[in-house]
Amino acid sequence: RETSNTAGGGTGHALPVRTPRFSSCFGVVMGTSVKYSSRGPALIPRMKSKHRIYYITLFSVVLLGLIATGMFQFWPHSIESSAEWTVDRRSVHDAPLTLAVACTPALICALNLLLQVYIYPLQRFVDDVGVPISSTGLSREYNDLLSAISDSDFYTDDVTRACLFVPSIDVLNQNSLRIRETAQALATLPRWDKGMNHLLFNMLPGGPPDYNTALDVPRDRALLAGGGFSTWTYRQGYDVSIPVYSPLSDEVDLPERQPGPRRYFILSSQTAIHREYRVELERLKEENGEALLLLDKCSNLSQDMASARKRCYKAINMSLLTVLGARLGQATLSDVLQAGCVPVIMADSYILPFSEVLDWKRASVVIPEEKLPEMYMILKSIPPRQVEEMQRQARWFWEAYFRSMRAIGLTTLQIINDRIYPYAACTYEHWNNPPVVKWSSVNSPLFLPLIPPRSPGFTAVVLTYDRVESLFRVITEIAKVPSLAKLLVVWNNQNKSPPEESLWPKIAVPLKVVRTKENKLSNRFFPFDEIETEAVLAIDDDIIMLTSDELQFGYEVWREFPDRLVGYPGRLHLWDHEMGKWKYESEWTNEVSMVLTGAAFYHKYFNYLYTYKMPGDIKNWVDAHMNCEDIAMNFLVANITGKAPIKVTPRKKFKCPECTAIDGLSLDQTHMVERSECINKFASVFGTMPLKVVEHRADPVLYKDDFPEKLKSFPNIGSL
Amino acid sequence: MQAKKRYLISLLTGAFLVLLFYFGGVPGPATGRSRYDRIRNGYRSDQPWPHFSDRLQSFNPWDQTDTEEYNIHISPKQKRDVNTSVYKGKRCRMDSCFEFSLCKRNGFKVYVYPQQKGEKISESYQNILSTIEGSRFYTSDPSQACLFVLSLDTLDRDQLSPQYVHNLKTKVQNLPLWNNGRNHLIFNLYSGTWPDYTEDLGFDIGQAMLAKASISTENFRPNFDVSIPLFSKEHPRTGGERGYLKYNTIPPFRKYMLVFKGKRYLTGIGSDTRNALYHVHNAEDVVLLTTCKHGKDWQKHKDARCDKDNAEYDKYDYREMLHNSTFCLVPRGRRLGSFRFLEALQAACVPVMLSNGWELPFSEVIDWNTGAVIGDERLLLQIPSTVRSIHQDKILALRLQTQFLWEAYFSSVEKIVLTTVEIIQDRVLQHTARSNLMWNSHPGGLFTLPQYSTYLGDFPFYYAGLGIKAHPRFTAVIHAVTPLVSQSQPILKLLMAVAKSPYCSQIIVLWNCDKPLPAKHRWPVTSVPVIVIEGENKVMSSRFLLYESITNDAVLSLDEDTVLSTTEVDFAFTVWQSFPERIVGYPARSHFWDSNKERWGYTSKWTNDYSMVLTGAAIYHRYYHYLYTHFLPSSLKNMVDQLANCEDILMNFLVSAVTKLPPIKVTQKKQYKETMMGQSSRASRWADPDHFAQRQTCMNKFASWFGAMPLVHSQMRLDPVLFKDQVSILRKKYREIERL
């Protein structure tokens, strides 16, 4: 009989239960049914013997039928065919496995965009004679796992909202389980339904002598997060391959070490390696001597195993040979990663942990078992730089995904979540790049090498306040540029209306005036719907010295570098050693790290970024100070693309002759100080200095070449 | 009778009771509750999971791990043999159905059976075969091969199709090397026929691998089969069209949100999803159109919706929709895959997959989440809201990725076939397999050969993505063809000039001259090591071999008669550091389309743009040496060697094909070569009128092998920031460049 017991001990006492469904599961069916049939005659006492026999037969047939059905329903299918289970994994019945399978709860998921996981309350299962189905009961690790899930955002205590169910039956280690009984216990779960949308965690599947590679408890449609899957048992896109948790993670504190060569080249710490392989390893050791270290069981140190292990790991090395043992999944893998060693995986057909999302090729070396004799050669051929990267990667995998049961459990759930919402899934970079790389790397959103056609042209955006005369001159000048598609005037003056339409210069392309609500510098970078081209020319209303050739050439250069700022006057940031901070430089320098947006081409995408994705308070800060919007734009673009801007054409004085002193501030001392402050402020908000310094600028191919000017495409360049 | 009735009733009651018992209809009154009750002990109401005060046991005790031995059991070798005998047919994996030993001896080589007379082969299959035969994997010797491809057309296994090959079963069985299909690769596009379109090929494939379109997850043998895309008869053999995306509009929305235009099946498999599409169609931004008008007797089966659907269908133009939609629906057709998939991909219309159980093309290596939206047929009605919820940044990324994927793996039959072969090669040479990043980022798996290195930092493409930089020094390689006779020879001046560069770590002189190596003391003493290598066979292509002594990422390739100053070298190298994947150099050339002669023209005239930078003075990444030697077919390399010409053009073709970008020209002090040179033998090569004609011929030959013209024009040159500016020369860093 089955009892439900409280795991805490004292309070709970066994209650004899007689749920029929359960008793049938436990194989007492035969006994009960015999009882019933023997009682048959008593129920029908006054029958003619002829009829009686007839009815008894009928009754028995019905009953037997029912029993048969019942048994078929609840009898764990594995019992007779457990040997076949590992073989026949992808049978037709298993086949159409997708998580959302007609499961209405999945619809609930879809609204939340986060998997809702329900954990069954803890119960203890025992069989008829009161022997528990598991020899260990709830293990420490499984308890950690469940409590981690219950603390996570995935958890829901509302069974009706859940779309994934985690049984509280601990199946981490199959050796401590009674397989048939566990299957029956699972089947009693109220929402089991052949395991639909249930998630089982198992780390040590199979057992001697065969060491099956998946949990022998029939999993039906349940997702199995298993350690040690082989390619035959792993149902791709359905199961999740997880690591075998190593208790060492918790017990030994191994701080991260600098990657690089270590005392030993190869260490084999795997115990229980097959004799043949061990011989081979010994041979390798003989040939290569000191480079190899083979460890075996610490047989003499029976009392304090853990500390013995610890000692073994003091001599941590570079590469590690692992997984040659009886099982595919080994806790050694976790230890190797923790030590920042590169795992050398020689376990044919093994599905590496979390291989669905982790790029193991960057953290491990996989060698077929057959090639064991060549192992040393293969490993020696790996360039040292790569080994270092692998070491770093390996350690990161351990820290992020192997470290604790919590990490393992939540990673599993995240993988399943990504499957259900593939369009919101975490990126490759998110999964695989260690924080250092995440921090220093850039993945430009405009990553495709694409030189856009000339034809759409560019939209010129002129920011103006009230300098109408100068504005009109600028408009007239720009209108001469062949590729100009549209002119947009951003009228930043709320107190004054723009001039009447009739007063504006007549130009061949559409001209639009946008009136802003507030006089803010950031208005010039607003992604107006009126900008229909991807190329934007930001230009001040006093930039009249740029020739049409220079502007057209700037556009051509932008086409070759659509993900960069392409501008005319260049500026530089410098590190002021005395002051210990950044300094702004506008002198004649050999280097450029910024271009002014007083006249610059850039992609409209950066308008969108500036307006909506500018980090910190930079945008407001710029608006409040009425300065440095160009520096902010340079920071933004360099930060997201990792690329320097392109300065085009020779330097010319940008100060317009007619403008008053207030406008031509560039040389003013206070102005310079303010600009330097901007750089320091932005660098602290970005947390780094994203600007890149280059020593080149772009000129037309034949610039200043001894060649007839009239044959040059852009002759009028560089005049002052 | 009464009694009988009573008996019947009691019998039924009994049966009912039993039924109840069996199916658990009546739960035990008190027990049911207690079973599902939370444990009280240690349970706190604010904590969803109880805490235990006493320490629980570990799941994996030490003693248990230590006693796990399999010494007593079968040896690993036996285990492998057992696997081979057990896992066959539908359970085939590389470990059980593939003979790795065949690949050990000669590397990864592919053999194609000779075509038999009287066997007709469809054009598509012919394209597949000729791609393999033209690839670097091909071998004509079956004893060297590790992968075998049939010359029997297996593409179309639809019995009703005119392309169907009969008696394939016996034909295959009679093949001398068949060996029950071991190490064979079978290509297939169509299988099964009306009405159920099964995935059976109609013959026993034994242990052969399948490269199949429309393969279902159910039948797909992971890491054994390869899912390929369905492509049409018109799909080009090589080259292929580029993606349609020309520029990125911001915000990235197009006129339509989601479109589809295709057949609706009135009978047979594959109808369900398409039948329901009209529910989602709104004639505004979601336009999903179906037609019943296909096949001979559609009128016979037509249903109530047909006329209305057909009318709506004719209102829209498919091309127009394809180009103006953000998302394109790709529902299953008769089979799981449909032509819509590649069409959408090329048109930069993000595919929304609606084909449950389809193993997406090259799913083993391509991360489709970055290039498509994978929907669920059963949640069709949610699709519009799903795609509307996708953020614009994500749409932009998806769209760009479609273009990358299209151009990297799908635009031609050649790419599809080579991707298939490369995937299998990655499995065979496990420890030198490509990482996911190589497959899923520009320039893609076909251009990144892991045999060169498996370390991403050794390639010029991943510096930004990994946050690292190229090595800050370069190796100069000087190609020497004339004997060393005087101390005033240009090569010695060049050597001295280059050696003075602070970025130079070593100079390699490649001695491709017929005369023996000059004595060591004849070379000038320099601060950096000078290594002299005797060229193998003294052929042109040997200048692009990846010599072991080239240890830096950057290679400065030089002709012996190049005239360069140290400043120019320094400047070019600093520029290269910003563009490590391109060729950065001095003398530029251009190509143009000669419409009169209908062929490509080559020009060395001074023009306002250029598309090539001669490798007689150029810096590029060392990986291109490897790529030149191992990626290009021997036919092209032999041509270069025979002519002793065009090697620079070929290099430019190669690099532009990889980067899709022009090379970069930097400032040069003086004019180079043609005008400058007069005395050396190398110069005579340039003076030769044949020389020019040869280069023209080369261009056209190369363009035909690449299937398209990979070269791209540029109109700019990179100069030092203060180049020729009116400022004191003392302020300028690269002042030598301006001095004439």
pLDDT tens digit string along A233-244? Answer: 898 888 999 998
Task: Give the rounded distance of the alpha carbon of B275 from its chain centre.
Answer: 35
- Name the residue with higher pLDDT: A431 or A254: A431
Cα separation, A443 vs B202, in Å, equals: 48
Determine contact: B441 vs chain A, CB below 8 A.
yes
Q: Is B59 in contact with A136 (CB distance < 8 Å)?
A: yes
What is the nearest CA distance from A264 to chain B, expressed in angstroms?
21
* From A10, A141, A369, residue closest to B58, measured CB to CB: A141
Determine contact: B734 vs chain A, CB below 8 A.
yes
Taking an 8 Å cut-off on Cβ atoms, the answer to whether B715 and A703 are in contact is: no
B645 DSSP assignment:
-
pLDDT at A425: 82
Residue A378: partners with Cβ closer than 8 Å, 6 or more residues away: A365, A367, A371, B431
What is the nearest CA distance from B228 to chain A, expressed in angstroms?
18
What is the nearest CA distance from A542 to chain B, expressed in angstroms?
23
What is the nearest CA distance from A107 to chain B, expressed in angstroms?
8
Identify the band that residue A25 occupies on the pLDDT scale cut at 50, 70 and 90: very low
pLDDT tens digit string along B201-249? Answer: 888 899 999 999 999 988 999 999 999 999 999 999 998 889 999 988 8
pLDDT at B17: 59
Residues of B in contact with A121 (CB under 8 A): 36-39
What is the percentage of chain B residues whose pLDDT exceeds 90? 57
Determine contact: B45 vs chain A, CB below 8 A.
no
pLDDT at B522: 85
Determine contact: A96 vs chain B, CB below 8 A.
yes
The three-state (H, E, C) secondary structure of A555-610, written as one string = HHHHHHCCCCCEECCEEEEEEECCCCEEEEECCCCCCECEECCCEEEEEHHHHHHH
C-alpha distances out from residue A283 to A365, A367, A375, Å: 21, 18, 12
Spatial CA neighbour of B585 closest among B665, B649, B477, B667: B665
Taking an 8 Å cut-off on Cβ atoms, the answer to whether B247 and A100 are in contact is: no
Strands A581-585 and B156-157: unpaired
Taking an 8 Å cut-off on Cβ atoms, the answer to whether B431 and A102 are in contact is: no
pLDDT at A49: 57
Cα separation, A565 vs A577, in Å, equals: 28
In the predicted model, is pLDDT for residue A86 greater than 60?
no
**Using CB atoms within 10 A of its CB, is residue B16 exposed (0-12), middle (13-18) or buried (19+)?**
exposed
The alpha carbon torsion through B538, B541, B542, B548 (nearest 10 deg) reads 180
Taking an 8 Å cut-off on Cβ atoms, the answer to whether A98 and B376 are in contact is: yes
* Domain B474-718: CATH class, spelled out: alpha beta
Cα separation, A304 vs A306, in Å, equals: 6
Q: How many CB atoms lie within 10 A of CB A625?
A: 14
Taking an 8 Å cut-off on Cβ atoms, the answer to whether B247 and A534 are in contact is: yes
Q: A49 φ, ψ to 5°? A: -55, -35
Residues of A in contact with B39 (CB under 8 A): 6-8, 12, 121-122
pLDDT at A281: 83
Cα separation, A403 vs A259, in Å, equals: 19
Identify the band that residue B73 occupies on the pLDDT scale cut at 50, 70 and 90: low
Q: Is B620 in contact with B582 (CB distance < 8 Å)?
A: yes
Strand order in the sheet with B612-613: B599-603, B588-594, B612-613
Cα separation, A50 vs A22, in Å, equals: 37
Query: Comparing A172-186, A206-220, B203-217, B621-635, which segment has the lowest mean pLDDT?
Result: A206-220
**Topology of domain B256-402, per CATH?**
Rossmann fold (3.40.50)
pLDDT at A258: 78
* From A348, A436, A534, residue closest to B250, measured CB to CB: A534
Determine contact: A274 vs chain B, CB below 8 A.
yes
Determine contact: B44 vs chain A, CB below 8 A.
no
Determine contact: B716 vs chain A, CB below 8 A.
yes
State the DSSP H helix or E strand holding residue A615, giving kind and residue range, or none if neither: none
pLDDT at A68: 56
Identify the band that residue A491 occupies on the pLDDT scale cut at 50, 70 and 90: very high
The ipTM (two decimal places) reads 0.89
Residues of A in contact with B60 (CB under 8 A): 141, 172-173, 203-204, 244-245, 247, 331
Cα separation, B265 vs B272, in Å, equals: 9
pLDDT tens digit string along B291-317? Answer: 988 877 788 888 888 888 999 999 999
In the predicted model, is pLDDT for residue A263 greater than 90?
no
In the predicted model, is pLDDT for residue A107 greater than 60?
no
Residue A660: partners with Cβ closer than 8 Å, 6 or more residues away: none
Q: Where are the alpha helices (DSSP H) in B248-305?
A: 272-276, 298-301
Cα separation, B675 vs A477, in Å, equals: 40
Copy the structure tokens of residue A478. 């720009």
Taking an 8 Å cut-off on Cβ atoms, the answer to whether A234 and B222 are in contact is: yes
Q: A64 φ, ψ to 5°? A: -60, -40
Cα separation, B224 vs B91, in Å, equals: 10
Determine contact: B546 vs chain A, CB below 8 A.
no
Q: What is the mean pLDDT of residues B93-108?
A: 89
Q: What is the mean pLDDT of residues A500-527?
A: 93
What is the nearest CA distance from B724 to chain A, expressed in angstroms?
8
Identify the band that residue B58 occupies on the pLDDT scale cut at 50, 70 and 90: confident
Nearest Cα residue in chain A from B53: A8
What is the nearest CA distance from B366 to chain A, expressed in angstroms?
11
**Residue spans per domain, chain B:** 77-213, 256-402, 474-718
Identify the band that residue B62 occupies on the pLDDT scale cut at 50, 70 and 90: low
Cα separation, B365 vs B439, in Å, equals: 6
Identify the band that residue A12 occupies on the pLDDT scale cut at 50, 70 and 90: very low
pLDDT tens digit string along B363-383? Answer: 999 999 999 999 888 888 889
The overall average pLDDT reported for chain A is: 78
Copy the structure tokens of residue B696. 């023209």
Q: How many residues does chain B have?
A: 740
Determine contact: B207 vs chain A, CB below 8 A.
no
Residues of B in contact with A157 (CB under 8 A): 48
In the predicted model, is pLDDT for residue B75 greater than 80?
no
Task: Judge whether B648 counts as a catalytic residue.
Answer: yes
Taking an 8 Å cut-off on Cβ atoms, the answer to whether A151 and B49 are in contact is: yes
Copy the structure tokens of residue A251. 């017990």
Copy the structure tokens of residue B102. 């065949």
Q: Is A224 in contact with A239 (CB distance < 8 Å)?
A: yes
What is the nearest CA distance from B521 to chain A, expressed in angstroms?
34
Identify the band that residue A103 occupies on the pLDDT scale cut at 50, 70 and 90: very low
Taking an 8 Å cut-off on Cβ atoms, the answer to whether A604 and B20 are in contact is: no
Give the up-direction half-sphere exposure of residue B611: CA atoms within 13 A in the CB hemisphere: 21
Copy the structure tokens of residue A508. 């061949």
* From B49, B77, B454, residue closest to A146, measured CB to CB: B49
Residue B390: partners with Cβ closer than 8 Å, 6 or more residues away: A423, B373, B398
The overall average pLDDT reported for chain B is: 86
Determine contact: A62 vs chain B, CB below 8 A.
yes
Query: Between chain A and chain B, how many beta carbons pairs sit less than 8 Å apart?
Result: 446
pLDDT at B68: 52
pLDDT tens digit string along A344-369? Answer: 888 888 899 999 999 999 999 888 88
In the predicted model, is pLDDT for residue A87 greater than 70?
no
Beta bridge partners of B353: B330, B374
| Active-site position among B367, B648, B688, B719 | B648
Cα separation, A297 vs B71, in Å, equals: 14
Taking an 8 Å cut-off on Cβ atoms, the answer to whether A58 and B11 are in contact is: yes
Copy the structure tokens of residue A148. 């981690």
pLDDT tens digit string along A678-703? Answer: 999 999 999 999 999 999 999 999 89
Identify the band that residue A83 occupies on the pLDDT scale cut at 50, 70 and 90: very low
pLDDT tens digit string along B398-414? Answer: 999 999 999 999 999 99
Best A696, A702, A706, A717 residue to mutate vs chain B (most B CBs within 10 Å): A696
* From A378, A441, A447, residue closest to B400, measured CB to CB: A447
Which residues 213-272 on chain A approach chain B with CB closer than 8 angstroms? 231-232, 234, 236-237, 244-245, 247, 271-272
pLDDT tens digit string along A309-343? Answer: 443 443 344 445 555 555 677 788 888 888 888 88
Taking an 8 Å cut-off on Cβ atoms, the answer to whether B369 and A422 are in contact is: yes
Copy the structure tokens of residue A392. 């770093």
Residue A130: partners with Cβ closer than 8 Å, 6 or more residues away: A3, A14
Nearest Cα residue in chain A from B56: A140
pLDDT tens digit string along B631-657? Answer: 999 999 999 999 989 999 999 999 999
Q: What is the mean pLDDT of residues B256-284?
A: 87
Cα separation, A270 vs A332, in Å, equals: 7
Q: Is B315 in contact with B284 (CB distance < 8 Å)?
A: no
In the predicted model, is pLDDT for residue A508 greater than 80?
yes
In the predicted model, is pLDDT for residue A110 greater than 50?
no
Cα-Cα end-to-end distance for chain B? 128
